[in-house]
Chain A
Amino acid sequence: MSSKNIRRQHKAFIASSDDSKICVVMVGLPARGKSLIAGKAMRYLGWVGIPARVFNVGSYRRFSTPQPQAAFFDPHNEEGERMRRAAAEAAMADMLQWFNTGKGVVAILDATNSTKERRRWIYEKCHEADIEALFVESICDDEDLIMTNIKEVKTTSPDYKGQDPEVAALDFRNRIRNYEKVYETIDDDEKQYTYVKLINVGSTVIINQIKDYLSSRLVYYIQNIHIKPRSIWLSRHGESEFNLTGRIGGDSNISERGEAYARALPELMRKSGIPENTKIVIWTSTLRRTIQSARHLKAETGYEKLEWKALDELDSGVCDGLTYEQIAEKYPEDFAARDEDKYNYRYRGGESYRDVVIRLEPIIMELERSENVIIVTHQAVLRCIYAYFMNVPQEQSPWMEVPLHTLIKLTPRAYGTEEQRFKANIPAVSTWRGKGTSARHQEFHAAEGGKVDGTETKH
């Protein structure tokens, strides 16, 4: 047989795409952390390179009923029931269409999905479209935790925007009562479904009929997250001797100005706002400049400290110890290739951003399991961690500017992560290099950075 023939036949039996499509169906009463789980799962999947999207039924309902009263959710309110059903159908239709484009791999259907009937409807719809339904139920009977969540929701949910917080909280509790009237937990009638039941934030987890690898990986992730309030602080190391001479990599000491930042860090942390009785853990890399930068913080506060090899700076291989100018001169092709696709570019004998993301996965899992943590690490590593929390696309994250001597505080909320930046007002060089330039490290003046000790908040 000629090879042409083989090729034709070969085309005929190419199997379809080998990734299964998954619809994660959230199940649970309001204020059980469903949106938080959904949002996090989406960010995690995006970060590891799996296209994912959340379809929030509430936001479809808001088109017709932007700020409904609790009575709207009364199961006896036929009009409310009809509109909520319409919202669910609209979300489902959009989700199926998104899968049809061929780009979608994981969709997350974020709603209460509190009855067996509703779940069967979803299961059948997914089944028809050859999509695996994975039900994720969050059950919680810890009243303190529910109250914390209610407070959180009433301050951040679009449903209560601009309303008196006390009135909002009361209305929200009534809404939950309405849902409780009809709520059915996933039980043995539904044992043919693939499901995960998280009881009291994962202290007991029941995992049923996992059918594919991707679902198992999602379950693994979900099992690592918690919904307790906390913050994560990120900081680069203080200015290093290498920073001063514009060289990358290495394991140099911090400069005098870097030492000043190390001394200022405890006060900067305090100013950023630490709730009372909060235990914070310090994480550094194993390189001198991060350990030195966290030295005074540890000595003054007595916080526990961990050194992680996985937090070490992106390995620049043969370029370690060179300046950007020297790299452009010695390895012009590499330099250009890196600008073209910085996320995937791997230094000769070193790492790419993609490699760093892979080695950071255990760190992300550990970070999800932890509560309050300050991470003192390096530019590239910090960009990757920041990209995970703030949902920065892969092509942008390697170009993000993260100045020296600045503390970033991230606080996860139900509807996104809140970011605040605190500048230490200690001058340092800027190590940021724009695309297509080989700019030398530039002197950074605190005044240019805007308000000293100022904060910027974005969602």
Chain B
Amino acid sequence: MDTLLTAEIVANSPRFRRKSSIFVDAIHDLPEKADLAPAQLYSTESGRLFHSGRIVIITVGLPARGKTHISVALARYLRWLGVKTRIFHLGDYRRATIPFGEDMPDDYFFVNATAKSVLLRQKIVRKCREDIYHFLNHENGQIAIYDAVNPLASGRRSLAKEFAKHDIETLFIESWCDDERIIEENVRRVKISSPDYVSWKSEDAVKHYLNRVYSRIPQFQTMEEKDLNYIKMINAGERLIVNNRSFGYLSNRIVFYLLNLHIKSRRTYFVRAGVSLDADSYKADASLSEQGEDYAKKMTERLLAHREEEKQAMIERGETGYESRPLKVWTSTRRRTVETAKYLHEYGYKIRQRSQLSQLNPGVCEKMSESAIRAEFGDDVAKHELDPYHHRYPRAESYHDLAVRLEPIILELEREQTDLLIIAHESVLRVLYGYLMACNAADIPFLEFPRDEIIEIVPESYQNEAQRIHIPDLPEEIIPASPEDLKIPVPPSGVVSPTQGLGTPEGQVTPQSGHRTPSGIQTPSGIRTPRERERISQQHVEDVV
């Protein structure tokens, strides 16, 4: 394999260089060391699960049909299940190969392109394919997602043949739309936010963008190839057609996931429940205290004010669609989470109680002091320190158990089309956040959700981003993460104990603010390296494919 060119691509592509932060979804980074994934049920020596072979998932569809969104969401879910998955966006390779500032040839996608364009196209595709082979053959990869347009049946057949030669199965996923509103909405959301369209009227920009796409890719054949394995998603999941030649366990699982996926943009908010009267007891299920009551009120006001600001900002930008983003609230069935939603209920928001959202069961160590736990369950403390994600105290659940139990919630989270507020115990928030942001399993027990912050997850087609919204005027003693958490001796979490003033100024949203992240926490097993946070810039105009 041509290592020189790969290095060139790496050097040119901002996406390959970056290290994700806790605020940017780590979906494009592979964990450096082999680690069990959050919801992985078992491991195998090959590192591949379910005795399935290696699969290349090949996307099919014109630009603005949500291909990248589907690729990224699917990778997030598969990685969560413990399937080693990596996405190869052909666009990244094109941008890395075509020198910066240069346009790609106009006939790049034409069937009868000039020899020069054909050569360029071949060079780019070859590079991408070599990286896929390397990942599947030498890095224990199980699923590679090849994100490209693949508009012609003949091209798709030869791809399948080519991969079959290397003993790799193929599964095509087509996103097909005949609903113009979905396409336009998608263009508006992910394609025309670039500086090039700054002074344009939104509808003109959409028209211009789509005309460009159709003139560049004049021919597109929807999938009818009965000899290939494919899943055709019609109008963002309204209907799915599955052509099953030889589906394995994972392919069927992917269908299951896609049945719950949509491509609409919506936000997810996480907040803690208010403090309760008997905060230490898991079994008691106590009501909110006065302070908890006060918190519920302030949280509600801050959240609604924030949503109003966002709505105003959208109106100013000339965007539409804010009215189609109502808010739903999920709580656990525990009294304090339900009561925290009380004011939202009074405002007329729909509240839904979900039994699966109940907190990690602390087992027999509940209400025991740290020294008592150390005395009675010394072995367990040692084991817990070695692997806080998988270890269970007697009668307790581990984070891993919790992750497996939350699987239906995760699929319903994907299914939900409106904005969603989840009020739950910190242990549950950690796991859900870990899924949405593709966190490493080992980091999940250390994620922190201080009570004075609303976490907002904003999905972008390339990754999710998290923002923390400060709730002002809360008494200091109720803020810290895990004050009523299990009295289980988790390793000291260095950066916690937030002091007043360190927090975000009132009303300001800080997407990249770095305080109180788990980065840099010392654990008995060594120092976790701080992660850099880097802003990823995308050039949307050239990014027609």
Question: Chain A residues in contact with chain B, CB under 8 A?
Answer: 1, 3, 6-7, 9-10, 13-15, 18, 191, 202-210, 212-213, 216-217, 219-220, 223-224, 306, 308-310, 346, 348-349, 358-359, 362, 365-366, 369
B392 within 8 A of A: yes
Bound-complex Cα distance A15 to B239 (A):
30
B383 CB, min distance to chain A CBs, angstroms? 8
4 shortest interchain CB distances as A-B pairs: A220-B256, A216-B259, A205-B242, A309-B42
Known: A219-B255, A362-B249, A365-B252. 19 other contacts (CB 8 A): A1-B293, A3-B277, A3-B287, A3-B289, A6-B287, A10-B287, A13-B351, A18-B353, A18-B355, A204-B242, A204-B243, A205-B240, A205-B241, A206-B242, A210-B259, A210-B260, A220-B255, A308-B51, A362-B41
Bound-complex Cα distance A458 to B510 (A):
67
Bound-complex Cα distance A219 to B44 (A):
28
Output the nearest chain A residue to B237 by Cβ-Cβ distance.
A210
B206 within 8 A of A: no
A213 touches B277 (CB 8 A): no
Chain A residues whose C-beta falls within 8 Å of the C-beta of B242 in the assembled complex = 204-207, 223
B353 touches A15 (CB 8 A): yes
B249 touches A365 (CB 8 A): yes
B338 within 8 A of A: yes
B220 within 8 A of A: no
Output the nearest chain A residue to B350 by Cβ-Cβ distance.
A15
Bound-complex Cα distance A308 to B238 (A):
36
| 8 A Cβ contacts from B214-265 to A | 238-245, 247-249, 252-253, 255-256, 259-260
B538 within 8 A of A: no
Bound-complex Cα distance A418 to B48 (A):
35
B43 within 8 A of A: yes
Chain A residues whose C-beta falls within 8 Å of the C-beta of B238 in the assembled complex = 208-209
Bound-complex Cα distance A202 to B392 (A):
41
A223 touches B277 (CB 8 A): no
Bound-complex Cα distance A1 to B287 (A):
12
Output the nearest chain B residue to A224 by Cβ-Cβ distance.
B252
Bound-complex Cα distance A202 to B245 (A):
9
A9 touches B411 (CB 8 A): no
Bound-complex Cα distance A306 to B44 (A):
12
Please encode chain B, from 375 to 415, with 1 for each CB lying within 8 Å of some chain A CB and 0 for all others: 00000000000000000101100000000100010011001
B420 CB, min distance to chain A CBs, angstroms? 14
B266 within 8 A of A: no
Output the nearest chain B residue to A220 by Cβ-Cβ distance.
B256
Chain B residues whose C-beta falls within 8 Å of the C-beta of A369 in the assembled complex = 247-249, 252
Chain A residues whose C-beta falls within 8 Å of the C-beta of B395 in the assembled complex = 346, 348
B287 touches A7 (CB 8 A): yes
A206 CB, min distance to chain B CBs, angstroms? 5
14 contacts across the A-B interface (CB closer than 8 A): A3-B288, A6-B288, A6-B339, A6-B342, A18-B352, A204-B243, A206-B240, A210-B260, A213-B260, A216-B259, A309-B43, A309-B44, A359-B41, A362-B249
Given contacts A213-B415, A220-B256, contact A206 B249 (CB under 8 A): no
Q: A207: which of B51, B240, B253, B339 is its contact (CB, 8 Å)?
A: B240
Bound-complex Cα distance A220 to B408 (A):
13
Bound-complex Cα distance A283 to B14 (A):
46
Bound-complex Cα distance A14 to B259 (A):
29
Bound-complex Cα distance A23 to B245 (A):
29
A18 touches B255 (CB 8 A): no
B335 within 8 A of A: yes
Bound-complex Cα distance A7 to B339 (A):
8
Bound-complex Cα distance A244 to B80 (A):
41
Chain A residues whose C-beta falls within 8 Å of the C-beta of B287 in the assembled complex = 3, 6-7, 10
Output the nearest chain A residue to B364 by Cβ-Cβ distance.
A348
Given contacts A6-B288, A220-B253, contact A208 B293 (CB under 8 A): no
Chain B residues whose C-beta falls within 8 Å of the C-beta of A306 in the assembled complex = 51
Bound-complex Cα distance A384 to B335 (A):
35
Chain A residues whose C-beta falls within 8 Å of the C-beta of B408 in the assembled complex = 213, 217
B50 within 8 A of A: yes
A10 touches B249 (CB 8 A): no
B345 within 8 A of A: yes
Bound-complex Cα distance A1 to B289 (A):
10
Chain B residues whose C-beta falls within 8 Å of the C-beta of A212 in the assembled complex = 415
Bound-complex Cα distance A209 to B239 (A):
6
Bound-complex Cα distance A213 to B406 (A):
13
Output the nearest chain A residue to B392 by Cβ-Cβ distance.
A349
A10 touches B338 (CB 8 A): yes
Chain B residues whose C-beta falls within 8 Å of the C-beta of A216 in the assembled complex = 256, 259-260, 411, 415
B172 CB, min distance to chain A CBs, angstroms? 14
Output the nearest chain B residue to A312 by Cβ-Cβ distance.
B42
B535 within 8 A of A: no
B354 within 8 A of A: yes
Chain B residues whose C-beta falls within 8 Å of the C-beta of A6 in the assembled complex = 287-288, 293, 339, 342
| 8 A Cβ contacts from B277-312 to A | 277, 287-289, 293
Chain B residues whose C-beta falls within 8 Å of the C-beta of A203 in the assembled complex = 243-245
Output the nearest chain B residue to A366 by Cβ-Cβ distance.
B249
A366 touches B50 (CB 8 A): yes
Q: B252: which of A14, A15, A204, A220 is its contact (CB, 8 Å)?
A: A220
B339 touches A10 (CB 8 A): yes
| 8 A Cβ contacts from B309-348 to A | 335, 338-339, 342, 345
Output the nearest chain B residue to A306 by Cβ-Cβ distance.
B51
Please encode chain B, from 408 to 429, with 1 for each CB lying within 8 Å of some chain A CB and 0 for all others: 1001100100000000000000
Output the nearest chain A residue to B43 by Cβ-Cβ distance.
A309
Bound-complex Cα distance A366 to B253 (A):
11
Bound-complex Cα distance A163 to B208 (A):
73
A206 touches B288 (CB 8 A): no
Chain A residues whose C-beta falls within 8 Å of the C-beta of B255 in the assembled complex = 205, 207, 219-220, 223
Output the nearest chain B residue to A219 by Cβ-Cβ distance.
B259
Given contacts A1-B293, A6-B288, A208-B238, contact A310 B411 (CB under 8 A): no
Chain A residues whose C-beta falls within 8 Å of the C-beta of B44 in the assembled complex = 309
Given contacts A3-B277, A309-B44, A365-B249, contact A358 B404 (CB under 8 A): yes
Given contacts A10-B335, A207-B239, contact A310 B42 (CB under 8 A): yes
Output the nearest chain B residue to A197 by Cβ-Cβ distance.
B241
Bound-complex Cα distance A151 to B328 (A):
53
Query: Which residue, of A212, A213, A348, has the highest number of chain B Cβ atoms within 10 A?
Result: A213
Output the nearest chain A residue to B42 by Cβ-Cβ distance.
A309
B51 touches A213 (CB 8 A): no
Chain B residues whose C-beta falls within 8 Å of the C-beta of A310 in the assembled complex = 41-42
Please encode chain B, from 30 to 56, with 1 for each CB lying within 8 Å of some chain A CB and 0 for all others: 000000000001111000001100000
Bound-complex Cα distance A418 to B473 (A):
68
Output the nearest chain B residue to A214 by Cβ-Cβ distance.
B408
B50 touches A362 (CB 8 A): yes
Bound-complex Cα distance A365 to B49 (A):
14
Bound-complex Cα distance A310 to B353 (A):
33
Output the nearest chain A residue to B338 by Cβ-Cβ distance.
A10
Chain A residues whose C-beta falls within 8 Å of the C-beta of B293 in the assembled complex = 1, 6
Bound-complex Cα distance A7 to B411 (A):
31
Bound-complex Cα distance A358 to B260 (A):
21
A213 touches B50 (CB 8 A): no
B345 CB, min distance to chain A CBs, angstroms? 5
Chain B residues whose C-beta falls within 8 Å of the C-beta of A7 in the assembled complex = 287, 335
Bound-complex Cα distance A6 to B343 (A):
11
A213 touches B412 (CB 8 A): yes
Output the nearest chain B residue to A195 by Cβ-Cβ distance.
B239
Q: B342: which of A9, A213, A224 is its contact (CB, 8 Å)?
A: A9
B277 touches A219 (CB 8 A): no
Chain A residues whose C-beta falls within 8 Å of the C-beta of B245 in the assembled complex = 203
B210 CB, min distance to chain A CBs, angstroms? 26
B239 touches A208 (CB 8 A): yes
Bound-complex Cα distance A459 to B289 (A):
58
Output the nearest chain A residue to B330 by Cβ-Cβ distance.
A18
A32 CB, min distance to chain B CBs, angstroms? 17
Chain B residues whose C-beta falls within 8 Å of the C-beta of A15 in the assembled complex = 350-353
Output the nearest chain A residue to B49 by Cβ-Cβ distance.
A362
Bound-complex Cα distance A366 to B247 (A):
11
Bound-complex Cα distance A206 to B232 (A):
9
B345 touches A13 (CB 8 A): yes
